[in-house]
Structure 1
């Protein structure tokens, strides 16, 4: 029961004063454990002007187990799987690095900061990470192209 109280409190905080470029709502009113997150591509990144939808799923053991964050919107990024799952690799969300004191707002801000500064050394898409390191210009072209194609803000 404690986890529901905490989740509701964090949801209220994020709805009332969301971090810059991020908005949060329940994916389904009757389920506190699944959130729909809308994230603006940060200015100065190849994702700028994109609107990305993410899914945040909380385990029933939250805050003792980390949430999972995945991109519903396709994105060309070394830290997000290129499949229909859009799983995001975030160090702080790994079971052994997760701290119960972590806040969901911080998780989402970290996810957004990864759009500005990918972490090629912690990549789930090795090919994209390699391109990011070796041919930044081409990486940014493709990332911009995908953003236009899949994440054009309406």
Structure 2
């Protein structure tokens, strides 16, 4: 995995991800560009995503992890550590574990989509079923 163009920190974190994977998370750099990661997160137990593989493509730039997913309509997520709570002290592993935790416990009080949050608050059972369906249609990896 030697790439002299990568900061030592990224190389070290990547080696750790490969040698000590987080439970339910697989992350590996792209062969073409080691700043691009292919991430697969198993849907957490007792979540709308259970039994599915959530595929995430991420790009590392200056230690910032930008996430694109196939969750929801826009393919984005709302996670404070990717916005105003970002810190250079965060590791790639920590960010991925935070995304996994968000799948287990969505926060409708800090939504990416106001409409989805309103639906979640007014009829959580129906909203969970919608999340399961969207996951089946748009986020299930093979």
TM-score by length of structure 2 reads: 0.88
Question: What is the match of residue 76 of structure 2?
Answer: 87
Q: 2:55 touches 2:141 (CA, 8 Å); kept in 1?
A: no
Q: 1:75 aligns with which of 61, 71, 76?
A: 71
Rounded to whole Å, the distance in 2 between the matches of 1:127 and 1:3 is: 41
Count of aligned pairs between the two proteins: 139
**After the TM superposition, which parts of structure 1 deviate over 4 Å for at least 4 consecutive aligned residues?**
none
Unaligned runs of 5+ in 1: 77-81
CA RMSD of aligned residues (A): 1.8
Question: What is the match of residue 96 of structure 2?
Answer: 108
Unaligned runs of 5+ in 2: none
Following superposition of structure 1 onto structure 2, how do residues 28-43 of structure 1 map, counting pairs within 5 Å? 29-43=31-45
TM-score by length of structure 1 reads: 0.82
| 3-state SS of paired residue (2:7) | helix
Q: Given the superposition, is the C-alpha separation of residues 101 and 3 from structure 1 closer, same or farther in structure 2, using an over 3 Å criterion?
A: farther
Rounded to whole Å, the distance in 1 between the matches of 2:48 and 2:32 is: 36
